[in-house]
């Protein structure tokens, strides 16, 4: 095998690796956002279930679900504080 064939093979593998990384990173971010959004929606739903006993409710929107999903319980507390101070 000549050096140019080996070099072409190495460049092809490098290009394939870069192409793979470029396309898999956005897919990974998408799945993480979807997972966090679903968990946040469930957390907000549970909070609304408990909050209905005292007459307090948070809107479940994609933004609030992502905030609750990313930050967990502190995110829900921030959403409650935001709701209390803006309404």
The 10s digit of each residue's pLDDT in 24-40 is 777 778 788 788 888 88
Longest dimension (CA), the chain: 78
Taking each helix axis from N to C end, the angle separating 62-71 and 3-51, rounded to the nearest 10 degrees, works out to 100
Write down the pLDDT at residue 1: 58
Write down the pLDDT at residue 16: 76
Write down the pLDDT at residue 59: 84
Write down the pLDDT at residue 68: 84
Task: Name the burial class of residue 64, with classes exposed (0-12), middle (13-18) and buried (19+) by CB atoms within 10 angstroms of its CB.
Answer: buried
Conformation bin of residue 60: beta by default, left when phi > 0, alpha when psi is -120 to 50: beta
Which pTM value belongs to this model?
0.65
Residue 65 CB partners (closer than 8 Å, separation 6+): 37, 38, 40, 41, 44
The 10s digit of each residue's pLDDT in 37-83 is 888 888 888 888 988 898 888 888 888 888 888 888 888 889 889 98
pLDDT at residue 19 greater than cutoff 80: no
């Amino acid at each position: 095998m000549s050096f140019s064939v080996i070099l072409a093979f190495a460049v092809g593998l490098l290009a394939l690796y870069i192409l793979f990384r470029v396309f898999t990173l956005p897919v990974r971010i998408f799945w993480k956002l979807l997972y966090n959004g679903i968990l946040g929606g469930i957390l907000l739903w549970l909070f609304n279930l408990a909050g209905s006993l005292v007459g307090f409710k948070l809107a479940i929107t994609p933004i609030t679900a992502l905030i609750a999903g990313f930050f967990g319980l502190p995110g829900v507390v921030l959403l409650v504080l935001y709701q209390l101070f803006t309404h």
